[in-house]
């Protein structure tokens, strides 16, 4: 299960293996998804129950949850379906970013806390959190928002002072610095997604001395956990081997 750069990279590595038949599952959120190196199935399974049924029907030997660190529902479904179907589960989750010298981060646990962290006084906010949770910021309509997402925010925010920018990463640091300057941004809101593709805005905020409200992820609770594609390949070998020995 993908929707991330790691899932695409892992699929690319596993695609060359004659002993594996790999299918990549996408939610179908992005209107124009990037090409993938293996066959793709698209759309929800119908909850954990539907995913368990899929695992059984397709006689899946290993379920790899390589979805985004903030795609919490599908990861919970993966854990439940893995237990119900008896299919081993491997979680590939990239590491979060760590603060460096010069970073001015306020770490929060939710979008609601991020909204509150902006404060009462009007500010010029760069919202780089994707389109699905941007609506939380309607609760603080006094701010100016620059909202960047891959696909349009639909319905748009009800806050009155919002500018939308459609763009797909990766984003280079120099371009991010220029963007923050051009829009006279004075605070950035980001998820702690980790990875390189969206790290540019964090570096740009550091260069410009701007504060960042960083929404942290929930603690992972997976038995088989990999932080990199390389580790996931090793663990996948082990798990597929033991799954097939059990005749699953």
Ligand X SMILES: NC(=O)c1ccc[n+]([C@@H]2O[C@H](COP(=O)([O-])OP(=O)(O)OC[C@H]3O[C@@H](n4cnc5c(N)ncnc54)[C@H](OP(=O)(O)O)[C@@H]3O)[C@@H](O)[C@H]2O)c1
Contact residues: ligand X, CB under 6 A: 1-4, 25-27, 29, 44-47, 50-51, 67-68, 70-74, 77, 130, 132, 191
Q: How far is the CB of 144 from ligand X (least distance, A)?
A: 23
Looking at residue 180, the DSSP 8-state letter turns out to be H
3-class SS string, 113-135 = HHHHHCCCCCCEEEEECCCCCHH
Of 69 and 177, CB closest to ligand X: 69
Q: How far is the CB of 42 from ligand X (least distance, A)?
A: 7
Q: How far is the CB of 70 from ligand X (least distance, A)?
A: 4
Residue bearing tokens 């082990």: 238
Q: Are 147 and 157 in contact (CB under 8 A)?
A: yes
Using CA atoms, how far residue 81 sits from 54, 204, 234, in Å, is: 9, 41, 23
Nearest to 8 by CA among 190, 198, 232, 171: 232
Q: How far is the CB of 102 from ligand X (least distance, A)?
A: 26
Of 143 and 191, CB closest to ligand X: 191
Q: How far is the CB of 184 from ligand X (least distance, A)?
A: 26
Of 72 and 104, CB closest to ligand X: 72
Of 131 and 206, CB closest to ligand X: 131
Tokens of 11: 């699929």
Of 29 and 107, CB closest to ligand X: 29
Using CA atoms, how far residue 245 sits from 52, 239, 242, in Å, is: 21, 10, 5
Sort 100 into a burial class: Cβ within 10 Å, 0-12 / 13-18 / 19+: exposed
β-bridge mates for residue 25, sequence order: 41
Residue in the shown chain whose Cβ atom is closest to ligand X = 44
Of 67 and 87, CB closest to ligand X: 67
Tokens of 202: 């964090």
Q: How far is the CB of 224 from ligand X (least distance, A)?
A: 18
């Amino acid at each position: 299960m993908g929707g991330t750069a790691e899932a695409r990279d892992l699929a690319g590595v596993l695609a060359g293996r004659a002993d594996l038949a790999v299918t990549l599952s996408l939610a179908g959120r992005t209107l124009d998804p990037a090409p993938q190196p293996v066959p793709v199935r698209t759309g929800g399974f119908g909850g954990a129950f539907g995913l368990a049924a899929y695992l059984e029907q397709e006689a899946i030997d290993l379920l790899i949850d390589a979805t985004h660190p903030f795609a919490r529902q599908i990861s919970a479904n993966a854990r439940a379906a893995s237990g119900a179907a008896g299919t081993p589960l491997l979680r590939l989750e990239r590491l979060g970013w760590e603060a460096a010298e010069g970073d001015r981060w306020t770490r929060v646990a939710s979008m609601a806390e991020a909204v509150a962290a902006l404060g009462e006084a009007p500010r010029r906010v760069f919202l780089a959190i994707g389109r699905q949770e941007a609506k939380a910021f309607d609760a603080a309509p006094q701010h100016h928002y620059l909202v960047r997402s891959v696909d349009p925010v639909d319905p748009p925010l009800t806050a009155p002072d919002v500018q939308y920018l459609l763009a797909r990463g990766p984003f280079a640091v120099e371009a991010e610095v220029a963007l923050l300057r051009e829009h006279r941004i004075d605070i950035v809101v980001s998820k702690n997604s980790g990875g390189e593709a969206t790290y540019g805005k964090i570096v740009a905020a550091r260069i410009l001395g701007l504060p960042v409200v960083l929404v942290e992820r929930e603690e992972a609770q997976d038995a088989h956990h990999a932080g990199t594609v390389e580790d996931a390949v090793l663990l996948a070998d082990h798990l597929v081997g033991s799954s097939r020995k059990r005749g699953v």
